[in-house]
Amino acid sequence: MVLSFFRAGDSGLDHVVTRSVAMVNDARHSFDLACTALMSGADPRSVADDVRETDLRINANEQQLRGELAVHISVHGPNDIGEVIGLILLLKKIERVGDHAKNILDLAESGVSFSEEPDIDELIEERRIVSGFFAEASEILAEHDGIPEGFRDRLAGMTSQIQSRIDGYMTSDQPGHQVVPRAVYHRYLKRIVANLNSAVLAATEPVRVIDPTD
């Protein structure tokens, strides 16, 4: 069931959903740039300003919209509380995705580069798939039709793949300076996938609010 603010044009909350789509697109932009710096061998300084400015824009939007949601509740009372909670969760998950994209940039700025790794093609393909999840999440939010069949299964499959990589790093015989950055990167990647999953759930599953008199 899709939250009622996706069905009601006069709820006063529609613009929050619209801006959340823009926030997901911003987060994808930061993610793609940060991963390019990590995997291409390019100087991370060439994208650092863009990534950080985009992250600040995501954070500012999240804070502003949360403030508007607080005002909405104060004006309209508890009738929309379920929708507002769902939107607050949605915004927070998108903000966390932006943070993890910035964390990937931090890895590149610290001197980490995967450009010469023997499995670089696999890493690039993995990044491409995760970037595609951003686009699909944007469409889900924009179209208000619920989660397409198979989408969450693919997210779960990618999560399992990433966790398998992390598990492998834990038992690797390679030196720490090689496996630790990869484990950290894949930890960020796993959190990005998890937060995208949580974002679409927050936007498509109703939040049950229990009446205190019940």
Residue 13's contacts (CB-CB under 8 Å, 6 or more residues apart) are: 5, 69, 72, 80, 83, 84, 87
The residue behind tokens 């998950």 is: 93
pLDDT mean across residues, the chain: 88
Which tokens in the block code for residue 24? 């997901």
pLDDT at 8: 41
pLDDT in tens, 87-101: 899 999 999 999 999
Strand ranges inside the chain, DSSP E: none
pLDDT attached to residue 15: 83
| Contact (CB, 8 A) for 92 and 61 | no
The predicted model scores a pTM of 0.88
Q: Which two three-digit tokens encode residue 99?
A: 């943070």
Q: Give the pLDDT of residue 207.
A: 56
Domains in the chain (CATH in brackets) are 4-204 (1.20.58.220)
Side chain identity, residue 202:
A
Q: Which residues of the chain have pLDDT under 50?
A: 1-2, 4-10, 208-214
CA 6 from chain center: how many Å? Answer: 20
Note the pLDDT of residue 6: 46
Q: Would the CA dihedral through 73, 57, 139, 107 be positive or negative? A: negative
State how far the alpha carbon of 39 is from the alpha carbons of 42, 97, 122, 131, 205, in Å: 8, 19, 11, 14, 36
